[in-house]
Structure 1
Amino acid sequence: MKKLVLATALALAPLGAWAEGVVHKVAVHVNDGDPRVLNMALNNVQNVTKYYESQGDTVEVEVVAYGPGLVMFLDGKSPVADRISTMALENDHLKFSACGNTLRKMSEKAGKDVPLMSEASVVPSGVVRLIELQEQGFSYVRP
């Protein structure tokens, strides 16, 4: 009976859970340009990453910004640019995604292309990206 229970537990465990820990997935939603909110989002990323790494697990995090929150990734205007650059260098499992809809509207309003920080990648829609991540099993966090 003990062998059957162990075999069942091994079969039901997430892939890699026994050897290397669990992989957690977190989507962080940022649609507010207040520097306190931007810093809180980055604090959440650091705290979650630190906690899971202390447990021997891995955490994949994607920060998705749109609307007023896109200021987070604006080259030369982001109040958290230094933190983003440092965090991107320190964490291979961290992605920053900028809403293409918001970026296009900002560029139209400015009459020129609005540059993003090199750490950010453009996705067609921030809202759609958050939906996709949740459908892929990412947990949703909004600071």
Structure 2
Amino acid sequence: MRVIVRLAIAALLSLPLVSGSFAADAKSHRVSIQVDQNDPQLMNLALNNATNAIEYYRGKNEDVDVDLVTFGPGLHMLRDDTSPVKDRIKRLKELAFPGKIQFSACNNTKQNMEKAEGKTVSIISDATLVPSGVVRLMELQEQGWSYIRP
């Protein structure tokens, strides 16, 4: 009888350790999505992909981070003067998924556009300027982020 009581006590005392290890095993998901074309349909597809991933993992109570990386003609997605999706980005960033979604704008592309157009190119306030979109994607993949190109 004493052996059974001791085993029961040992089992009860180990429960916090077991449940804690399950919490430690919860996976964090990270995905980078490339946008390199000035195509509103492609931009909306990328935003749909991001939204679907966030909603899926939110429904499973799992953490997910998304970084939409724009470069080349895709930078128009994050240009304040030409973005066909800037209102949708604002809603996603501020209301639906605060802290879960980032928009990275390639500074190389921005500088080349400024030279070609002879004016300053403004990026939407919800975006972060990165030195290079391609390098950003490479570094995210090197850190274990998944990669999607819609």
TM-score (norm 2): 0.82
TM-score (norm 1): 0.86
More helix by share: 2
Structure 1 gaps, min length 5: 4-9
Structure 2 gaps, min length 5: 1-10, 12-17
Residue in 2 that maps onto 1:134: 141
- Structure number with greater Rg is 2
How many residue pairs get aligned? The number is: 131
User: Match for 2:127: what amino acid?
Assistant: A
For the structure 1 residues 36 and 55, does the alpha-carbon distance in structure 2 shift closer, same or farther, using more than 3 Å as the test? same
Superposed displacement of residue 33, structure 1: 1.0
The counterpart of 2:47, out of the listed 42, 51, 58, is 42
Map 1:93-104 onto structure 2 (within 5 A): 93-104=100-111
CA distance in 1, matches of 2:117, 2:37: 20
For the structure 1 residues 78 and 130, does the alpha-carbon distance in structure 2 shift closer, same or farther, using more than 3 Å as the test? same
Identity score, percent: 45
Which stretch shows the higher mean deviation, 73-82 or 37-46?
73-82
CA-to-aligned-CA distance 1:68-114 (integer Å, 9 cap, x gap): 10000010310001110001112211110000110000011111210
Superposed displacement of residue 47, structure 1: 0.4
The counterpart of 1:119, out of the listed 126, 144, 149, is 126
Map 1:35-114 onto structure 2 (within 5 A): 35-89=40-94, 90-91=96-97, 92-114=99-121
